[in-house]
Amino acid sequence: MVTACGTSTGPDDLNSPEAGTSASPATTQAARPTLTDPKLQPPSQDNKYTRSTGRPQVVFDPCTWISDADVESVGYRPKSRKRGPDLVAEYTFLTCTFDNSDNTIALGLDSGNITWQENLAKNGSWLQPTTVNGRQAGTGRGAPGTEGECHVQMQTKVGTVLLWTSVQSLGQGKNLDPCANIMEIASVVEKSIGKEN
């Protein structure tokens, strides 16, 4: 996960899991594109790296499954929707980012196939257990050095969804709280994930 501050608390610095800890292969449904802009479509999850791990494919794609109306309902601009640096390798993360109306806070979403247990091993020291619409989750301000960020992480059937908000340069010095409505955002995102995932 890439943040505007240049810090990373997401998948790109996650250590590979020990043998035997990866999720067992599962049959997953094909992604349901709610948005069809070619620039927003997820990359193929079929390559030599993904085939070698036995991890299930990521089903929920945050860039095509969340509607413009839902994005707008939590204070972000649908036209700012941007596909992030997707990672499709030994583990997969599909990424999408948004900006709020005055470009002071960014919203980022990573949908991945690291297990909830792997996520807790990495981030559990700063996550407080919670639920989002009944889904197991954790929330917190982030790892040390990420004071301008707020996070909600949710368990899915194939892994974990990482949601973060980050104060941008235009928001510096304005006393903005990145956690102000993060649980409302998480609730909207959780509904897009779908109970079947």
Residues 108-155 have pLDDT tens digits of 999 999 999 999 999 999 999 999 999 999 999 987 778 789 999 999
Q: pLDDT tens digit string along 75-110? A: 999 999 999 999 999 999 999 999 999 999 999 999
pTM: 0.81
Per-residue pLDDT band for 36 (boundaries 50, 70, 90) equals: confident
Query: Average pLDDT over the chain, rounded to whole?
Result: 85
Q: What percent of the chain has pLDDT over 70?
A: 83
**What's the 3-state SS for 20-89?**
CCCCCCCCCCCCCCCCCCHHHCCCCCCCHHHHHHCCCCCCCCCCCCCCHHHHHHCCECHHHCEECCCEEC
Higher per-residue confidence, 46 vs 21:
46
Domain residue spans in the chain? Answer: 55-191
Q: What pLDDT band is residue 10 in, cutting at 50, 70 and 90?
A: very low
Query: What per-residue confidence (pLDDT) applies to 20?
Result: 34
Instruction: With CA atoms as reference, report the closest residue to 55 among 14, 123, 122, 115.
Output: 115
CATH number of this structure's domain 55-191: 3.40.1000
Q: Which of 14, 2, 11, 7 is nearest to 147 (CA)?
A: 7
User: What pLDDT was estimated at residue 28?
Assistant: 43
- Residue 144 is predicted with a pLDDT of 75
Higher local confidence (pLDDT), 34 or 51: 51
Map tokens 């409505």 to a residue. 181
Given a cut of 50, whether residue 23 has pLDDT beyond it is no
Q: What distance in Å separates the CA atoms of residue 27 and residue 73, rounded to the nearest whole number? A: 33
> Has residue 11 got a pLDDT over 50?
no
- Residue-wise pLDDT for 179-192, tens only, equals 999 999 999 999 99
